[in-house]
Structure 1
């Protein structure tokens, strides 16, 4: 019985390993939602949102960020992002301080945005 159980476990682990696809590299412009108020390397925050899959701290309105991959865009490309977004390497802030819907962490108030330009 133990041998059968071990064989079944080995089979399931093997099938599971085959079923897991390799992570695809995000292309410029690809968007995703990440838990927390942050962005993965090479991405910018385009608005804050709520996700039932993410932990919500007491009193928080938003618990996730909608992010867009910007690595891979050609030099001279402009993108609009929330002012709280990290600025990826090779990008520079060329304008900031304007109202941008979705970039506020306080529900009902507009947040601030910035325009980034790919420089290198």
Structure 2
């Protein structure tokens, strides 16, 4: 069911407020709240080879929120140019999706990225 009012987004917005207070020292994520998934808060991390594509920030948040390591999914996008890590957890009544994007081995015209 799509949200039609801001009140219907209260759960993820309150979770975001608590995250900003409780985890102010953690790396800043991109934040998403959607009327399509009104109970979900998305924290995403983007980067390049120097910072492992935001994967380090993803792992820091995964640990802080207590998401199980075995629940992390790995996928590949854009013909091998982008690696993706994602998982879901709960925080303050909201479903929280953590997702990180980084360069895959095909990121720079076939050149391998050293991990």
**TM-score (norm: length of structure 1):** 0.25
Query: Higher relative contact order by CA 8 Å / sep ≥ 6: 1 or 2?
Result: 2
**TM-score (norm: length of structure 2):** 0.26
